Amino acid sequence: MLSTGRGSLRDSGPVLVTIEYRVQPDKRTEFIAAMQSVREMRRRNGAYFWELFHDSADPSRFNECFMDESWVEHLRQHERVSVADREIQQRAKAFMVEGESTKSSHWLADRQPTITT
């Protein structure tokens, strides 16, 4: 189990996950449509926030962002991925620029510790 300076990651949350996609410019519309199925999958699997953003300076660059309640819940989602979920993800990735792969980041909320007297 990974650890932060304030304890186990297991107790951390919420978690913001970002996934960057570089999409073929002529497949932008198809990618956005395919990502609606990804949205439904993420929400079904426990994400309470989901949004797809594009870069104003580079419309072929997208960032999928979603939030999970906790780090442990996010890890459970990885364990529960179904064949159908993988197919949904692959349909969206089919519109990426050839040779590109997604880039993921996981952001953990830092909360002010509660001080009791």
64, 18 contact by CB (below 8 A): yes
> pLDDT tens across 25-36, in order?
999 999 999 999
The answer, yes or no, to whether residue 111 has pLDDT greater than 90, is no
Question: Which token pair is 13?
Answer: 């949350």
CA distances to 9, 34, 56, 111 from 108, rounded to whole Å, are 9, 27, 26, 9
The answer, yes or no, to whether residue 11 has pLDDT greater than 80, is no
Name the pLDDT band for 113 (thresholds 50, 70, 90): low
Q: Which domains does the chain have, with CATH numbers?
A: 12-108 (3.30.70.100)
